[in-house]
Structure 1
Amino acid sequence: MSEEKIIGKGTWIDKLASELLEREKELGRNLDLINVESGLGASGIPHIGSLGDAVRAYGVKLALENLGYKSELIAYSDDLDGLRKIPEGMQEFGLDEHLGKPVSLIPDPYGCHDSYGMHMSSILLDGLDKVGIEYEFRRAKETYNQGLLKNQIHTILENSTKIGDKISELVGQEKYQKYLPYFPVCKECNRLYTAEATEYISDKKIVKYNCHDTEIGSKMIKGCGHQGEADITKDLGKLAWKVEFAARWSAFDIRFEAYGKDIMDSVKVNDWVADDILQFPHPHHVKYEMFLDKGGKKISKSLGNVITAQKWLEFGNSKSILLLLYKRITGARELGFDDIPGLMNEYNELEDTYFGRIKVDNQAKLTKLKGLYEYVNLLNPPKQSSIHVNYRLLIELTKIFKENRNERVMKKLIDYGVIKEEGNQEIQKLIEIAGNYSDEFDEQEKIEVELDNTAKKAISLLITELEKEEDPEDIQNTIYQIAKGNDVQPKDFFRILYQIILGTSRGPKIGPFITDIGRKQVAKTLSEYV
């Protein structure tokens, strides 16, 4: 069997960049600058999935640069999108009167940005900044105001009949056989989706429109009845999603854009519009699954079940976010804050692999893991490893010590032999975020550990000892004797206990650690496994 060819650093990101380059060369396009794009929604609070779109596109940019090409990430905020419904948790701001208006024309309910749309965009941009992503930011409002899409809009509207028929054929939507795929902003009421364009006067570059009642989602939005005209080169308006991506790709020379499965139909149509109408070969794509909440629902701005980068970073570091997003791109994943401890520890293991402390015999796997580590560090890995402290250990210790937390947890870590001295700022930051986690979440998700009946019996006996009123004289010895008396190797029993309590195969001396956590608390945790 031939050896698997390793591309770049051996990850899916490198494979994607290589496929992109191969396609570009076949198309014969100039490769002096390869632009990748991420679209940012500005109609609700951006979540970790929104962040992921840009982070992954940035990964492709890095891979292209690693292969010797210049690349830029364009982060495009669709802040001319109309507000379709009020996001969960924002009912108090009285946004109902603004339904149907472009989010860049709605005042910022928090009063700190020039519009609602810019406020929402800023949350995502702040998240990108915090995890170290570099980008060129472009706003839809400015893009349209500056006429950067005017040639594409003109060509699309001249071919609107052909496009309307193709949309009906490809995705079964007949709306654009009746109306143009362009929404002017009504000059009377500032609404977008109520102003439906009915005619394009090509030589004057003007659309005629009627502003009438329109159903958006399940809600009827009142139109003002205005019949007007809009100049596509200077009046505010925007292309429909079914054609707008294609216009952007052509105008900004975009060669790569990932997309979520929820907009598959739009991408299918836009690819055809780019190829057949604008004569611009559509970008290379990769489709990704959406993040789901722990109940299996799609994480959504409007549903209010969002996990923002800012909230995540209260409990985990930026490396845990980047690891989550760069591990893989395919497959739907349920996501919650309880994933943070596992990702924090997984990063430590990845770092140990990178620096050779964990041995991996399979060369292809080792290359891939090292590559993943480098991407999580945005292809600028540290020269030496950081000090590692098991994150679940920190959570348990911060549960115990509420007062003078940093100092007391630090002392315990020294007692356990985990660190040698106090004052390390990196460890102090870890204690701080682990403390945030333990304060916010009382219960951690149960860690899966495979146990046979012998191990379960030994755990039951240990629970009995831990639940006794009087302290066992020596918990460490008690555990050792229970293991020996029940045909369990002591080292295996210690490992099982570490797995249950800390999610790892080793840790501080188990007896004193159980005493610190509290015998009855540990007994309660163990009882879930028998």
Structure 2
Amino acid sequence: MTDELIAAARVSKAWPFEEARKVLRRYPDGRKADGQPVLFETGYGPSGLPHIGTFQEVLRTTLVRRAFESLIGARPEDGRTRLVAFSDDLDGLRKVPDNVPQQDMLTRHLGQPLSRIPDPFDAGHGSFAGHNNAMLRQFLDRFGFDYEFVSATQQYESGTFDAALRQVLRRWDAIMDIMLPTLREERRQTYAPVLPVSPTTGRVLQVPVEVVDAEAGLIRFTDENGSVVEQSALGGMAKCQWKVDWAMRWVALGVDYEMYGKDLTDSGVQSGRIAEALGGRKPDGLIYELFLDQNGEKISKSKGNGLTIEEWLTYGSEESLGYYIFPNPKSAKQLHAGVIPRAVDDYWQSRALLSEQPLDKQLGNPVWHLARANGGWSGAEAPGAGDTLPVTYALLLNLVGVLGAGAAPDAVWSYLRSYVPDAGAATHPALASLVERAVSFNRDFVAPTLRKRAPTASEAQALRALDKVLAAAEPGVSAEELQTQIYEIGKREEYGFSSLRDWFRALYETLLGSAQGPRMGSFIALYGVENSRALIAEALTRVD
């Protein structure tokens, strides 16, 4: 780690460094007094299938963690930091998600801990929570994150949380003083900081609780069958109420940084006060805006209205997912398949710029942070110059679009070889993965909605002019030469285009069936002059 990098990181305005400086103010020497690693945490409730909203929290927290290491001159292998991915899998199931099988079985288990409900997918994971936890870990491992997975069930049942639970019982009145003013009158009547697990039904109960002996961990409550039960709150026989659980976890594990969504703003305030009541300290963190679906609605695990991680990776790369998540965490983002192509191309554009940028600009480039997220190159160096794709993903999608819904990767490569002499999976592995994804994206989203409109009379004249230019083009004409000729046609007053944008929109809508498209010179060079003339001829047949 160079002194130059440390100095640049300390003044960088990139949001991961701004967040990391919060932790540095917490520990100016970059170390805890007890010598333990600085602990970053992410939380996950496995009541539904994990989606990208879950993944983004791990990624963003990792970016802050790596930024903090840069501030203190540490490398990932130094062990100066830890990242815990915590699953609240002892929570009771409150609602059956719409997007999982065996709805009737899950309904019968409402109220029971997620880790004690059978796996509705029958996938051998032991429980509903086990299945969802496995899905999350599978992708975190695929991306290469350095994290420790921690299960609430394991922490409670093993007794790891017992000391902190006793402290909750000791500070019962103080916690009630914090929580009761925030609750409706009806909820106040049943609220308790600890939720006992019924000895008869196994459900997590929302009932009044009396502390019998804080040191022994004994509580008293009325069970679902009306009997008064006195039992231990330790060893998995109870769990803390949500906001208390969050605070207890911070204190028990010694969490120093945790970000959370805007919808948990009030919870964060109350949990912070409870953490102080327990003798601890609220972690530093970022409150981020939520992802929205294409209709502008909040993504929900129970509705399943967001993209899954696997869906993104069907159409875009891992890097593009990280790139889309990186910017402006305090601004809401729509999350649907339509954002993927732009994210892929923006990633590669930023990657190509990286090696040419001075260090202070590199630290603001998302690619710099993403490359370090999973322990990649750790100095100030950047990927080599010219590290880019030979064609954009948008151009690739347009090529696949004109080839049709049944386009096969081999057909795409045959066109690519005329444009990129050494095109092949061995020489361009990143492009090879995008060819497969472009075929999938076209099949699922483009081909079903593709509609090429008829040119207007003036547009038809311009298309005929373009056809003449192509007919006279020399073999091997460059994309730039073609682009210049296309510009010149669009500027002619006789065709009546108010701007070049209108001319290009006409080309996209009549030739490609899309409202947006690539640089047409590049597309014609890729697709071929004669093939492009055939597109023009086909469009002209639709003229009234």
**1:442 alignment counterpart:** 446
Q: Where does 1:299-314 land on structure 2 (aligned, <5 Å)?
A: 299-314=299-314
- 2:91 aligned with 1:97: no
Q: Distance in 2 between matches of 1:278 and 1:258?
A: 21
Q: Distance in 1 between matches of 2:395 and 2:272?
A: 50
**1:13 alignment counterpart:** 16
Q: Distance in 2 between matches of 1:249 and 1:523?
A: 64
SS in 1 for 2:86: strand
Give 1:84 deviation, angstroms: 0.8
Q: Distance in 1 between matches of 2:138 and 2:467?
A: 52
Structure 2 CA distance for partners of 1:107 and 1:516, relative to 1, 3 Å = farther
Q: Distance in 1 between matches of 2:127 and 2:110?
A: 14
SS in 2 for 1:84: coil
Post-superposition CA distance 1:92-135 (Å, at most 9, x none): 43211011111100000111201001111111212222222221
Q: Distance in 2 between matches of 1:506 and 1:19?
A: 49
Give 1:509 deviation, angstroms: 3.4
**1:423 alignment counterpart:** 425
Give 1:86 deviation, angstroms: 1.0
Q: Which moved more, 1:318-327 or 1:187-196?
A: 187-196
Question: What letter is aligned with 1:408?
Answer: A
- 2:416 aligned with 1:413: yes
SS in 1 for 2:209: strand
- 2:371 aligned with 1:377: yes
**2:289 alignment counterpart:** 289
Q: Distance in 1 between matches of 2:285 and 2:185?
A: 23
**2:77 alignment counterpart:** none
SS in 2 for 1:254: coil
- 2:55 aligned with 1:51: yes
SS in 2 for 1:183: strand
Structure 2 CA distance for partners of 1:242 and 1:179, relative to 1, 3 Å = same
Q: Distance in 2 between matches of 1:519 and 1:323?
A: 35
- 2:489 aligned with 1:485: no
Question: What letter is aligned with 1:340?
Answer: I
Q: Distance in 1 between matches of 2:13 and 2:200?
A: 56
**1:456 alignment counterpart:** none
Identity of aligned residues (%): 26
Structure 2 CA distance for partners of 1:189 and 1:482, relative to 1, 3 Å = same
Post-superposition CA distance 1:390-437 (Å, at most 9, x none): 11222222231666722221121222x245333333322110011111
Given candidates 98, 101, 113, the residue that maps to 1:88 is 98
CA contact (8 A) 2:218 2:233 kept: yes
**2:395 alignment counterpart:** 393
Structure 2 CA distance for partners of 1:299 and 1:490, relative to 1, 3 Å = closer
SS in 1 for 2:372: coil
**1:216 alignment counterpart:** none
Q: Distance in 2 between matches of 1:505 and 1:134?
A: 43
Q: Distance in 2 between matches of 1:5 and 1:348?
A: 24
SS in 2 for 1:350: helix
Question: What letter is aligned with 2:460?
Answer: T
Q: Distance in 2 between matches of 1:421 and 1:271?
A: 56
Q: Distance in 2 between matches of 1:39 and 1:316?
A: 26
Post-superposition CA distance 1:240-274 (Å, at most 9, x none): 11111111111111100001111222211110111
Give 1:288 deviation, angstroms: 0.4
Gaps of 5+ in 1: 213-223, 447-458
> Could you state the TM-score of these two structures normalised by the residue count of structure 2?
0.80
SS in 2 for 1:89: coil
CA contact (8 A) 1:59 1:375 kept: yes
Give 1:501 deviation, angstroms: 4.1
Q: Where does 1:256-275 land on structure 2 (aligned, <5 Å)?
A: 256-275=257-276
CA contact (8 A) 1:83 1:100 kept: yes
Q: Distance in 2 between matches of 1:485 and 1:467?
A: 12
> Could you state the TM-score of these two structures normalised by the residue count of structure 1?
0.82
Q: Distance in 2 between matches of 1:120 and 1:521?
A: 53
Post-superposition CA distance 1:489-518 (Å, at most 9, x none): 999899876896435697343695687577
Give 1:481 deviation, angstroms: 5.8
**1:253 alignment counterpart:** 254
Q: Distance in 2 between matches of 1:506 and 1:366?
A: 32
Structure 2 CA distance for partners of 1:467 and 1:76, relative to 1, 3 Å = same
Post-superposition CA distance 1:247-305 (Å, at most 9, x none): 11111111000011112222111101112x22212100110011011111100011220
Q: RMSD of the TM alignment (CA)? A: 3.7
Q: Which moved more, 1:400-409 or 1:107-116?
A: 400-409
SS in 1 for 2:256: strand
Q: Distance in 2 between matches of 1:59 and 1:143?
A: 27
SS in 1 for 2:435: helix
Q: Where does 1:345-364 land on structure 2 (aligned, <5 Å)?
A: 345-356=345-356
Q: Distance in 1 between matches of 2:83 and 2:423?
A: 42
Question: What letter is aligned with 1:100?
Answer: G
Give 1:235 deviation, angstroms: 4.2
Gaps of 5+ in 2: 1-6, 75-79, 473-484, 509-513
**1:453 alignment counterpart:** none
Structure 2 CA distance for partners of 1:462 and 1:119, relative to 1, 3 Å = farther
Give 1:78 deviation, angstroms: 0.6
- 2:173 aligned with 1:161: yes
Q: Where does 1:153-302 land on structure 2 (aligned, <5 Å)?
A: 153-170=165-182, 175=187, 178-194=190-206, 196-212=208-224, 224-275=225-276, 277-302=277-302
Question: What letter is aligned with 1:377?
Answer: A
Structure 2 CA distance for partners of 1:445 and 1:282, relative to 1, 3 Å = farther
Q: Distance in 2 between matches of 1:153 and 1:521?
A: 76
Post-superposition CA distance 1:308-349 (Å, at most 9, x none): 111111110100111112222111112211100000000111
Q: Distance in 1 between matches of 2:147 and 2:214?
A: 36
